[in-house]
Copies of this chain bind each other. A is one copy, B any other.
Amino acid sequence: MYNYERFESEVRSYCRSFPTVFCKAKDHLLWDIEGKEYIDFFAGAGALNYGHNNSFLKEKLIEYIVGDGITHSLDMATMAKETFLGKFYEVILAPRRMNYKIMFPGPTGTNTVESALKIARKVTGRTSVISFTNAFHGMSLGSLSMTANPGKRRGAGVPLEYCIRMPYDRFLGDSESSLAFMRKFLQDKGSGIDLPAAMILETVQGEGGLNAASFYWLREVEKIGRELGILLIIDDVQAGCGRTGTFFSFEPAGIQPDIICLSKLISGYGLPMSLTLIKPEYDIWSPGEHNGTFRGNNAAFVTAAAALTYWEDRTFQEQIQQKAERVHRKLTQMIADYPELRGEVRGRGLMQGIACGVDGLAENICKSAFRRGVILETSGPRDEVVKLLPPLTITEEVLDQGLQVLEESIQECLNNELHVA
């Protein structure tokens, strides 16, 4: 019996889906203690965009540790932070003509979301925030109020308030229904909806089932907010940092959020780190009004700064997009070849998947893939989506191998279904 089975809380979950003990990893590969090799189409729930233990980042990290660079600094100034800030400005913000102040709100996704909600409420003096159907924004009380998943919400043990729930793009069928609904509810004085401080949204809903908002919808949502003085918060924790093919997931939509939440992928190496980007006019925090012990995780600053090197020319971005098209073609072909899946391709960039119209099927496909050496998780309110989150740096060959295993897993499951029926 493993220690995790003896000592770890019942809350543990991924170790139930992937019942083995992993010991080593490199790029897109993982090995368990029995020496079995796995292709990683999960990438730490998307946190490992440059693969496991990326050699370039690793070199910088070891150099820093060996040299006794500052490891932990709260929000004192350090060289590692200076370097990261300068490079983030130069490589990311300046070329995109984006003017934002950078906040280190604590090292996790829920920390950045909590800080975004606070500053939006402070700026507007209002309490409610719009969040959308199938949203996932985190597990601490403020973020959890915005999260839609009923099981996660029940975990709160208290009513989750101050959230106005709106229909995400296509939740009501098409984009227009959602927009018409929002406009009507926010503009009609009799709607009973109090004017909110902000709206928070993911451009692609990672946990909510790989729903990708159309660029049109994003622009219209931004416009509604502008007209009414509602701040726009983009939670780019899962979809940002290149996952969809551009550094920020919203770039191709041409919108300009007031506040941006980044985490998961920003350190590049899987080290805890997050950022909140705030338009300068809204950066009205008092010093220390939000804080946290681990907002100065310097090892992460080092890998994060190094990782930005990937973004210095457009090649990296173009390669992601080529791989994304490859995935899209393959998935589209699969749902055509296996109509029994009643499948639908979802998502965009290297954040795509297949929504299965048959109950329990997605879960079985992932189990089968795991046995065959590919790590894949489900998402969506009924775990109905097989979700592909390979490292952005994966080679086309391994990408194809993994997709091949996915297809075999689909075949196996459909045969079993047939057999059962």
Contacts and interface: CB of A to CB of B under 8 A. Distances in A.
B172 A184 contact: yes
A23 interface: yes
Contact of A192 (B74, B82, B133, B180): B133
B8 A103 contact: yes
Contact of A142 (B79, B132, B141, B289): B141
Contact of A72 (B69, B133, B171, B270): B270
Contact of A108 (B108, B122, B128, B172): B108
A81 B4 contact: yes
Nearest to A377: B74
A272 interface: yes
A52 B68 contact: yes
Contact of A272 (B117, B149, B287, B297): B297
A48 interface: yes
Interface stretch (A9-17, A310-318, A339-347, A361-369): A9-17
A338 interface: no
Q: How large is the interface on A (under 10, 10 to 19, 20 to 34, 35 or more residues)?
A: 35 or more
Given A111-B140, A131-B192, A162-B158, A8 B104 contact: yes
Given A11-B289, A77-B4, A72 B44 contact: yes
Contact of A190 (B30, B71, B134): B134
Number of this chain's copies in the assembly equals 4
A381 to B, nearest CB: 3
Given A11-B287, A110-B140, A151-B288, A53 B68 contact: yes
Contact of A89 (B7, B22, B155, B194): B7
Given A9-B102, A133-B190, A140-B141, A68 B108 contact: no
Nearest to A104: B8
Contacts of A289: 11, 151-152, 154-155
Contact of A158 (B48, B66, B127): B127
A325 B390 CA distance: 55
A247 interface: no
Interface string A3-36: 1101111111111101111111110001001000
A76 interface: yes
A56 interface: no
Contacts of A53: 65, 68, 71
A191 B79 contact: no
Contacts of A293: 44-45, 47, 108-109, 237, 263-264
Given A68-B24, A73-B44, A271-B299, A147 B110 contact: no
Given A53-B68, A72-B47, A159-B159, A290 B24 contact: no
A67 interface: yes
Contact of A127 (B70, B104, B159): B159
A239 to B, nearest CB: 13
A44 B291 CA distance: 13
